[in-house]
Each structure stands twice: as structure tokens, then as C-alpha cells.
Amino acid sequence: MTLHGLMQDEPLLISSLIRHAAEQHGDREVVARTCEGPVHHSSWAEVERRGSRLAEALRALGVGEGDRVATLAWNTHRHLECFYGVSGIGAVLHTVNPRLFEEQIEYIVRHAEDRVLVFDLEFLPLVEKLATKCPDVQHFVLLAEGKDIPADATLANLHAYEDLLTAQTGQFVWPDFDERAASSLCYTSGTTGNPKGVLYSHRSTVLHALGANQPGVFGLKPTDCVMGMAPLYHANGWAMPYVLPLAGAKYVLPGSQIEPAACQELIEDERVTAAFAVPTVWTMMLGYLAQTGKKLETLERTFIGGTAVSQALRDAYRDDHGVEVVHLWGMTETSPLGTIGTPTARVAELPKEARDEQLLKQGRIPFGVKMKIVGGDGEEVKRDGEDFGAMWVKGPWIASGYFKGEGGDVLDPDGWFPTGDVGTFDEFGYMKITDRTKDVIKSGGEWISSIDLENLASAHPKVQLAAAVAAYHPKWDERPILVVVPVPGETVAKEDVLGTLEGKIAKWWMPDDVVVLDELPMTATGKIRKATLREQLWNHLVESAS
Ligand code: ADP
């Protein structure tokens, strides 16, 4: 018989995060650019107050535990309030990516069986179309005031958010329930097949917020001012709505304007010290700063993930702008914190060049995440920074499957989740991504990293885009070929491209051919659709040989 400890068994609920922030950091600001443009100033106490009014309103509309409430909205204070108002009553916040194709949005809303759809005004035409196709949606909430509802809006059961809030008593008390209850839902775009829903729980979300606030991860302090540029629908805004109330930091949201001019202005005006976004956003910002001579005076560090950070990007921020770049890796299925590129004591003591190289990797494992890397032979690979294999993860904020069993049983018999990424581990405990499982090229049973080939080929000044994919080979099963799109107005020759790889890779990694195309197939989220390329070029080597 287990001797149980005698400590209180309080459930870990998302409402406890906002209650903490309201009580302990109530006057700490929450600043958001509205969709109309002007900047709105509020505070954690205000987010709690309005979030609880939304909770009361949703209950009055008949929303109960487990019901899904979808949002089609940008990074605004109202959208942030939904994170608490919806999950706080045990309903599920389903953040939908408005940039997906219309058919995908319809598929997702129907699949999730959303009962309420909350949206920004600019999505009204889209929502009116969805309404005819998604019969489960019973109420529509426009994130605006009553006077903003257009006279010609055709939706039945359309409510103005501000009117709903005003109509409540304000006497709402956050309820207690099972911490394992579902809290929010995020579909991964996926490059093949239908989108799949990752269903977070209150427990996973609170533990993740604690995990992200442990020393050596984001290192956020109450004195920090943090701008979340990752859209709130993308892995729930990289969890900033949950991480920042715990830290007691000031939160700055860019609204719908993630372009450099608007963000640079907010960073300066609000004295932002840390910011989160994908590499594309930071690359565009660099261009803007170079063009205008503007600065990011107060910014101390940026957290970058989603795709790999290049050395050029990291160096430009550090050397030209005094901004430290912290690399991180994660996925929707990991809440999203997986690894973080901050130094351990050993790495901090390395000579500068070695340390720089080390911190460009995707990073080390924080408490709460476990990871194993398994080679083609099914055995864990050596942690020598060379051998690579498929990465598997485990932990209390890692998905155990997808909503409604989509994709079947995904865990291995020991409970590990397949990330679909391929990487190495080094002696310092740092992970480096070398590929995606489906993109790795298997030549004679040995693996070739498509990402390494692409990075080298992209360094060629005349190459705008490069993709390395496997093509069928009668002897080796698969051999790499490179597909490149030249910079507009330029032409590139096969020998030219392969020349840039010479001496930088093992001889047997050298692509068997280079195919030049005008454009590459892309996904809605701007990633190269490699599966399509692979299909198109699978017989390329056999055909060109005959
Ligand atoms: P998807 O893009 O498939 O919809 P996610 O947004 O969850 O899903 O993306 C997760 C994937 O993004 C990871 O599995 C990995 O391939 C890639 N990724 C995330 N961070 C990094 C990084 N720092 N470096 C390289 N790849 C990354």
C-alpha cells in the first residue's frame, strides 16, 4: 500500500494563473494594438475581471464543460481574455488559424464541433460562409462593441463581445474541476493528410507554464516587458497567455500587425525587453532596421523557433543591435516547449567560437521533457553530435494522441511520442535538428540530412530556394536530388550548385542531380511541400538514366 503524502490536492487550473496575476501583479500592464489600429492599455487585474465576465456570459449562452469555443482572431486584449473566459469554465478554447485555406477552416470547425465562434470583424464574410456549412455553431461573438456590428450582417445569434460583458453581474467565481479536463485545442497544419487536433489539459498547461518559468529557460522576470509576436492561434501563441501571468511580466500584443514598422514602434513605445517570433519575422525586421536606421533600444533578447535560426540572423541581432538570440525547438504537440538554447555552466565556459556554435543548436532539455534519439536500426544513437536519428519525446505537456483518435495510436509501447524530427545529441546535452523523418534521404540504409544539403545550396548567391528530396535509385533505394529555384533573372547550372557543396559534405551525400524549377509547391503556412516534390520526382533518376 502506498503511504500518501498529506499535502493539499488543489487542482492545477488555468484560472489559477490569471488569479495569481490579478492578485500579485494586478497593475502590471497588458498592452495590445487593436485591429482598428490604436493601442489599448489594460492590466492583469483587468484581464481577470473581463475574462470572468466572459465566463459568466458563455455560461448564460449555455456553454458547458467540454464544449468547444472557436476563435478566429488576432493578438488583441479581447482574444487574450478568451483564454481565461473560455477555459475558466471548463470549456475548450479552439484557436483557429485564419490563414488556412477556407476548406481547411471549415473542416477544422466541423471536426471540433465548435458551439460558439468568436471572431474579429475582418473575418465576418468568412464566418457568414462558415455559418451555412457548420451547423453545430449556435452562437457567434464579434470581438467588438454593439455599434460595430454592420447593418447588413446576416448571422443569426450574433452577439457583440462588449455587450455580452456589460450585461453580466460581475459576481462570477472561478469554479474548481478536474485538472485533467481539456482546456484548449490547436490543429497542426500538417504537410500531408487532414489537420489533427492537439487537445491540451489544464494540468498540462499549468505545468508547461511552470516549466517555461523555471530558471535557465525563458528567464522572465516581473520587470520584463514581453512582446508575443507568434499569433495566438499558433501553439496558442507559444503559450505566452499562460507563461506571462505566472512571471508577472508586462505583456505587449501586436494585434493583426506583425509587420516590422508597427512592431518596432510598439517595442520602442512600450520598452519591450524580450520578444517571441519565428525567423521570418526577425529577418523582415532586420531589413526594416537597415533601411530606416531605426533601433530596438530596449530589447535585450529574442526567442526564436519554428524553423532553424541561421548564424547570420543570430550574429546580426547580437553584433549590430545588442540583442541576444535564444534558439528554441518545439511543436504544437509539445505545448510547445521542447528544447531551449540557453547555456549550461559547461557551455558558458567554452571559448567564444565553440560557445557560439553550441548555442546555435536547437538546445537542451528543460525539466519536464524527456527525449530519446533512435537510429535506423531501432537503437538509441550515440550522444556524440554526429550520429542522428528520429527524436521521440515524453512528459506531462507532450501529446498522447490526437483529438477523436485521429491518426490512431501514436505513442510507442513505452509511451514515447514521435516528433517527426531527426536530430543529433552532443556530449553537452544539446540537440540539433538535421531533418524531418519523412524528408530524410535513405541511401543504402544510411541517412542523409536534406536540411544540410538545402542550407549549403541556399548559400549560393543565385539560388533563392532549395529543397533536397529522395528519388528512387535501383541500387541504393534512394539518392538525394536537389531542386532549386534561381533568384529572379538569374540562371544556375548543376555544376555550379554542386560546387558549393564540394568538400563540405561526405562524398556519398553529393546529390545525383539538380533540377531547376520556377517555383516550389508551398503549404498554407509557407513551408515547402516536400511530399509533393518527392512524388513528382520519385522516378527522376531512372527516367533520366534511360
Ligand atoms: P506544423 O508546422 O507541422 O503545423 P508546428 O507548428 O507544430 O507544426 O511545427 C513543429 C515543427 O517545426 C517541428 O516538428 C520542427 O520540424 C519544426 N521546428 C520547430 N522549431 C524548430 C527549430 N528551432 N529548428 C528547426 N525546426 C524547428
Summarised one tens digit per residue, pLDDT across range 480-498 is 999 999 988 899 999 999 9
CA of 329 to the centre of ligand 1 (A): 7
- Confirm if 424 and 432 have CB atoms less than 8 A apart: yes
Q: Using CA of residue 32, residue 264, residue 227, residue 434, what is the dihedral sign? A: positive
Q: How far is Cα 318 from Cα 336, in angstroms, rounded to an integer?
A: 25
166 is catalytic: no
Q: Whose CA is nearest to atom 3 of ligand 1?
A: 190
- Confirm if 309 and 325 have CB atoms less than 8 A apart: yes
**Quick one: three-class SS letters along 260-295?**
HHHHHHHHHHHCCCEEEECHHHHHHHHHHHHHHCCC
Q: Whose CA is nearest to atom 9 of ligand 1?
A: 331
Q: What is the pLDDT of residue 280?
A: 82
Name the average pLDDT for the chain. 94
Q: How far is CA 485 from the centre of its chain?
A: 27
Ligand 1 atom closest to the Cα of residue 305 is 23
Q: How far is Cα 487 from Cα 226, in angstroms, rounded to an integer?
A: 36
357 is catalytic: no
Which residue in 92, 96, 123, 121 sits closest to 107, CA to CA?
96
Q: Return all residues near 298 (Cβ < 8 A) that are at least 6 apart.
A: 225, 267, 268, 271, 272, 273
**What is the best residue among 433, 449, 527 to mutate for testing ligand 1's pocket, by most ligand atoms within 8 Å of CB?**
433
Q: What is the pLDDT of residue 100?
A: 85
Q: How far is Cα 37 from Cα 74, in angstroms, rounded to an integer?
A: 12
Cβ of residue 418 lying under 6 Å from some atom of ligand 1: no
Cβ of residue 331 lying under 6 Å from some atom of ligand 1: yes
Cβ of residue 455 lying under 6 Å from some atom of ligand 1: no
CA of 257 to the centre of ligand 1 (A): 23
Q: Using CA of residue 315, residue 317, residue 322, residue 323, what is the dihedral sign? A: negative
Cβ of residue 179 lying under 6 Å from some atom of ligand 1: no
Catalytic hit among 81, 333, 454, 478: 333
Q: What stretches in the chain show pLDDT beneath 70?
A: 189-193, 524-526
Which residue in 195, 228, 213 sits closest to 20, CA to CA?
213
**What is the best residue among 192, 342, 410, 421 to mutate for testing ligand 1's pocket, by most ligand atoms within 8 Å of CB?**
421
CA of 168 to the centre of ligand 1 (A): 41
CA of 57 to the centre of ligand 1 (A): 36
Q: Whose CA is nearest to atom 16 of ligand 1?
A: 421
Q: What is the pLDDT of residue 193?
A: 65
Q: What is the pLDDT of residue 307?
A: 84
**What is the best residue among 194, 329, 432, 435 to mutate for testing ligand 1's pocket, by most ligand atoms within 8 Å of CB?**
329
Which residue in 223, 228, 214 sits closest to 340, CA to CA?
214
Catalytic hit among 133, 394, 438, 442: 442
- Confirm if 403 and 199 have CB atoms less than 8 A apart: yes
CA of 272 to the centre of ligand 1 (A): 26
Cell of 212: 517555461
Cβ of residue 454 lying under 6 Å from some atom of ligand 1: no
Q: What is the pLDDT of residue 127?
A: 98
Cell of 433: 535538428
- Confirm if 200 and 335 have CB atoms less than 8 A apart: yes
Q: What is the pLDDT of residue 525?
A: 65
- Confirm if 125 and 217 have CB atoms less than 8 A apart: no
CA of 305 to the centre of ligand 1 (A): 8
48 is catalytic: no
Q: Whose CA is nearest to atom 11 of ligand 1?
A: 331
Cβ of residue 305 lying under 6 Å from some atom of ligand 1: yes
CA of 433 to the centre of ligand 1 (A): 10
Ligand 1 atom closest to the Cα of residue 234 is 6
Strands 337-340 and 370-374 come out as: unpaired
Q: What is the pLDDT of residue 324?
A: 98
3-state secondary structure of 43: strand
DSSP secondary structure of 435-479 = EETTT-EEETTEEE-HHHHHHHHHTSTTEEEEEEEEEEETTTEEE
Q: How far is Cα 399 from Cα 396, in angstroms, rounded to an integer?
A: 8
* Helix and strand counts by DSSP (H, E) for the chain: 19, 24
Which residue in 222, 179, 142, 215 sits closest to 11, CA to CA?
179
Catalytic hit among 34, 71, 95, 188: 188
Instruction: Fill in the DSSP letter of residue 139.
Output: E
Neighbours of 213 (CB within 10 A): 19
pTM: predicted TM-score of the whole model, two decimal places: 0.90
Domains, the chain, in order of start with CATH, read 14-28+40-210 (3.40.50.12780), 441-545 (3.30.300.30)
Cβ of residue 421 lying under 6 Å from some atom of ligand 1: yes
Q: Return all residues near 506 (Cβ < 8 A) that are at least 6 apart.
A: none
Neighbours of 157 (CB within 10 A): 12
- Confirm if 209 and 15 have CB atoms less than 8 A apart: no
C-alpha distances out from residue 337 to 19, 227, 238, 302, 427, Å? 23, 17, 8, 15, 22
Catalytic hit among 74, 416, 447, 509: 447
What burial class does residue 448 get, using C-beta atoms within 10 Å of its C-beta: 0-12 exposed, 13-18 middle, 19+ buried? buried
Cβ of residue 236 lying under 6 Å from some atom of ligand 1: no
Q: What is the pLDDT of residue 189?
A: 67
442 is catalytic: yes
